[in-house]
């Protein structure tokens, strides 16, 4: 089992660092390379551990995750935009495959080594954010959402720090080298504070509450005092050391703290509008939703007047390619059955942890679930490759099933196939991004061949060349995003 272990130790670090330099795709240059790493990690680890996966005894949790994937797969078939549908489905499939591989590694007694690797990846993410915070300028960083480091967005760093804290705290509480682990906690807390991510702050607060209770039950309060000292040092350093960030407010961290629960104005009010309209969309498609990843495709049809989720610069398109909540996304995109299956699986994992004899491990597991659930209630977490890999690997390494039921011999093979196709799809998207930057029509045509679901490529081709050529791509763009005013304009006059 050394090969899958090494893959799941290297993969999380690679997914944190994976970025391309194609600034024309300022968001996808971070997201797509990380999806490629997610799929490659799942594929290689899954192949290396395939024999053990076939022998793995399934629990109700595994069955529920399989139901979640099955419903999601059917939902893709009926989605308006199957390209983004497949992309979102593949992320979920590779994540669950990683969960199963991590479980196999835990059964082989390799969970401590895996958890140390995950903790290192979380610290690496924090370090990239801190480098940008204190003035290091690299092409790998985005200047628009500083200090996002190699994740490209300060909120993504905040989420990673929040749901990564349980792993770091567990490693510190059980480590022989306390100083090194404490340094990792301090650096992560620094990055967490500096991101000003309110969802991440709430999630981190829940983690500390859970760990305080867990440490008292496990009689590890003396070691937990080291955790608190490391956390305080990290917070103090973030607040006191001058940095290169340019906030508009004189007291940005206090302002963010005061507005954590503000839903009367600003982004909070916008979220409420978005949640209401998205739930209405979910109610209109209760069985399968509108399709994985298809929230931005369908939401403009249900949006309120002057909806802040819509992009004023691109009429009838959403500002972000996902809603401001994992759970709203799952309900609206995959339907109530899929959302219920995933929720019950999470609850069953937590209940199993509560019955565990290893109190600290149970605490870390419950805290990871809580952090992912809270951060995911207000932002995109499990919709993205990097947090999905880290969360599902952590859950798999900490989850100790209570009731084995049957063997799932076919499911690992099917999910391996999805991971393989995910590698091909993500690699094709990166190649298409490279071709797009060259600018010629021939290179754009090649990009459209490699990535037919790339709306920007299709729309660019719809605006250059001969009429017949333009119309072909204008129709393709309109099919991908039917509500887009730009695509409708380009397709005007085309039969």
The model's pLDDT over 25-76, given as tens digits with 9 standing for 90+, comes to 888 999 999 999 999 999 999 999 999 998 888 899 999 999 999 999 999 9
Of the pLDDT bands very low, low, confident and very high (cuts 50, 70, 90), residue 373 is: very high
What is the CA angle 382-383-385, rounded to 5? 80
Is the predicted pLDDT of residue 256 greater than 70, yes or no? no
- Highest mean pLDDT (candidates 134-143, 262-271, 452-461): 452-461
Does residue 250 register a pLDDT over 60? no
Confidence tier at 310 by pLDDT (50, 70, 90): very high
Q: DSSP states of 365-431 as a string?
A: HHHHHHHHHHHHHHS-STTSHHHHHHHHHHHHHH---S---EE-SHHHHHHHHHHHHHHHHHHHHHH
199 pLDDT exceeds 80?
yes
Give the C-alpha separation, 366 to 346, whole Å: 9
Q: Which residues pair with 310 in a beta bridge?
A: 318
Q: Which residues contact 367 (CB under 8 A, 6 or more apart)?
A: 165, 166, 169, 206, 207, 210, 211, 214
Look at residue 264 in the predicted model and tell me its pLDDT: 47
Compute the average pLDDT of residues 422-427: 97
- What is the pLDDT, as a whole number, of residue 304? 86
Tokens of 339: 């959302």
Average pLDDT over residues 338-353: 96
* DSSP designation for 4: H
Please report how the helices 154-174 and 359-378 are oriented relative to each other, as an axis angle in degrees rounded to 10.
170
Mean pLDDT of 70-98: 97
Q: Work out the percent of the chain whose per-residue pLDDT is above 90.
A: 74
**Could you tell me which of 29, 65, 24, 39 has the C-alpha nearest to residue 385?**
39
The per-residue DSSP string of 300-327 comes to HHHPPTT-TTB-TTSTTSBSSSS-S-HH
Find out whether 82 and 76 touch, Cβ atoms under 8 Å: yes
Mean pLDDT of 402-422: 83
Is the Cα torsion angle 16, 19, 23, 24 positive or negative in sign?
negative
Sign of CA dihedral 411, 388, 322, 455: negative
235-263 b/e (C-beta count within 10 Å ≥ 16 → b)? bebbeeeebebeeeeeeebeebeebeeee
Q: Please give the residue that has the higher pLDDT: either 262 or 155.
A: 155
- Residue 469, classified by CB atoms within 10 Å of its CB into exposed (0-12), middle (13-18) or buried (19+), is middle
CB 184 within 8 A of CB 145: no
Token couple for 287: 């069985």
**Average pLDDT, rounded, for the chain:** 91
Would you say residue 219 has pLDDT above 50?
yes
How many angstroms separate the CA atoms of 449 and 459, rounded?
14
Nearest to 158 by CA among 198, 124, 185: 198
pLDDT at residue 180, as a whole number: 86
Q: How far apart are CA 198 and CA 112, in angstroms?
A: 31
**Cα 262 to the center of its chain, rounded Å:** 25
CB-CB neighbours of 287 under 10 Å: 13
pLDDT greater than 80 at residue 246 = no
């Amino acid at each position: 089992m050394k090969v899958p272990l090494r893959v799941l130790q290297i993969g999380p670090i690679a997914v944190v660092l994976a970025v391309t330099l194609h600034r024309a795709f300022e968001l996808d240059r971070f997201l797509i390379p990380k999806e490629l790493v997610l799929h490659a990690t799942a594929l290689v680890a899954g192949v290396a551990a395939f024999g053990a996966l076939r022998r793995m005894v399934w629990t109700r949790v595994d069955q529920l995750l399989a139901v979640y994937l099955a419903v999601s797969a059917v939902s893709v078939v009926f989605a308006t935009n199957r390209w983004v549908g497949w992309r979102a489905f593949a992320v979920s499939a590779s994540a669950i495959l990683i969960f199963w591989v991590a479980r196999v590694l835990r059964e082989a007694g390799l969970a401590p080594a895996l958890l140390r690797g995950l903790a290192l990846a979380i610290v690496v993410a924090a370090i990239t954010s801190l480098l940008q915070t204190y003035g290091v300028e690299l092409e790998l960083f985005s200047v628009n959402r500083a200090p996002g480091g190699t994740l490209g967005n300060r909120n993504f760093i905040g989420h990673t720090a929040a749901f990564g804290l349980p792993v770091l705290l567990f490693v510190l509480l059980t480590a022989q080298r306390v100083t090194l682990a404490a340094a990792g906690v301090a650096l992560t807390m620094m990055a967490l504070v500096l991101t000003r991510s309110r969802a991440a702050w709430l999630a981190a607060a829940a983690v500390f509450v859970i760990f305080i209770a867990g440490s008292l039950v496990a009689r590890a309060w003396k070691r937990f005092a080291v955790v608190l000292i490391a956390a305080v040092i990290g917070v103090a350093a973030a607040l006191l050391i001058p940095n290169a960030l340019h906030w508009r407010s004189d007291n940005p961290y206090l302002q963010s703290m005061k507005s954590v629960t503000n839903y009367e104005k600003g982004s909070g009010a916008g979220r409420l509008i978005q949640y209401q309209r998205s739930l209405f969309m979910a109610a209109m498609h209760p069985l399968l939703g509108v399709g994985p990843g298809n929230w931005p495709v369908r939401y403009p049809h249900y949006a309120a007047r002057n909806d802040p989720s819509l992009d004023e610069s691109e009429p009838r398109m959403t500002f972000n390619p996902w809603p401001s909540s994992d759970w709203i996304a799952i309900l609206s995109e995959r339907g109530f059955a899929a959302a219920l299956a995933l929720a019950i699986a999470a609850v069953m994992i937590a209940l199993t942890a509560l019955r565990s004899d290893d109190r600290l491990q149970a605490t870390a597991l419950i805290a990871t679930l809580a952090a992912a659930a809270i951060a995911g209630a207000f932002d995109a977490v499990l919709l993205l490759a990097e947090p999905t890999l880290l969360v599902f690997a952590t859950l798999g390494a900490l989850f100790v099933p209570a009731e084995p039921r049957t063997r799932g011999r076919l499911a690992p093979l099917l999910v391996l196939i999805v991971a393989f196709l995910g590698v091909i799809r993500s690699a094709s998207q990166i190649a298409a991004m490279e071709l797009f930057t060259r600018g010629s029509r021939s290179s754009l045509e090649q990009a459209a061949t490699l990535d037919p679901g790339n709306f920007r490529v299709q729309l660019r081709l719809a605006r250059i060349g001969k009429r017949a050529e333009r119309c072909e791509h204008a129709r393709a763009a309109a099919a991908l995003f039917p509500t887009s005013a730009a695509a409708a304009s380009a397709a005007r006059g085309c039969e």
